Amino acid sequence: MKKTMTKAAGVVLGLALAGTLGGVGTAEAQVQPSVTAPTAAPAISAAGTSGPAVQTPASVVADLKAATSRARAALAPNARVICYAAHVQDIGWQAAVCDGAVAGTTGQSRRMEALAVSTSGVGGVCADAHLADIGWQGWACGSDGQVVTVGTTGQSRRMEALGVQVGSGSVGAQAHVEGYGWLSSVSGNPVYAGTTGQSRRMEAVRIWV
- Side-chain-facing half-sphere of 179: CA atoms under 13 Å: 12
Around 156, how many Cα atoms within 13 Å sit in the side-chain half-sphere? 1
Q: How distant, in Å, are the alpha carbons of 40, 42, 99, 169 from that of 117? A: 19, 17, 11, 17
Query: Do residues 188 and 157 touch, judged by C-beta distance below 8 A?
Result: no
Range of lowest pLDDT (7-21, 33-47, 108-122): 7-21
Q: Could you report the per-residue pLDDT of 109-122, keeping only the tens digit for each?
A: 999 999 999 999 99
- Structural element, H or E, at residue 73: helix 58-75
Question: Which comes out higher in pLDDT, residue 177 or 76?
Answer: 177
Mean pLDDT of 175-179: 97
At 43 the pLDDT is 75
Q: Whole-angstrom Cα distance, residue 206 to residue 180?
A: 15
Residue 145 clears pLDDT 50, i.e. is over it: yes
Q: Which of 20-29, 91-100, 102-111, 125-134 has the lowest mean pLDDT?
A: 20-29
The mean pLDDT of 59-82, rounded to a whole number, is 94
Check residue 32 and give its pLDDT: 56
Residue 53: what pLDDT? 65
Q: Return the number of other C-beta atoms located less than 10 Å from residue 5's C-beta.
A: 9
Instruction: Give the integer Cα–Cα distance in Å for 65 and 157.
Output: 26
Mean pLDDT of 172-191: 97
Q: pLDDT grade, residue 47 (50/70/90)?
A: very low
Query: With pLDDT > 90 as the criterion, what percentage of the chain qualifies?
Result: 72
Report the pLDDT value the prediction gives residue 4, as an integer from 0 to 100: 42
- Residue 159: which H helix or E strand, with range? strand 159-166
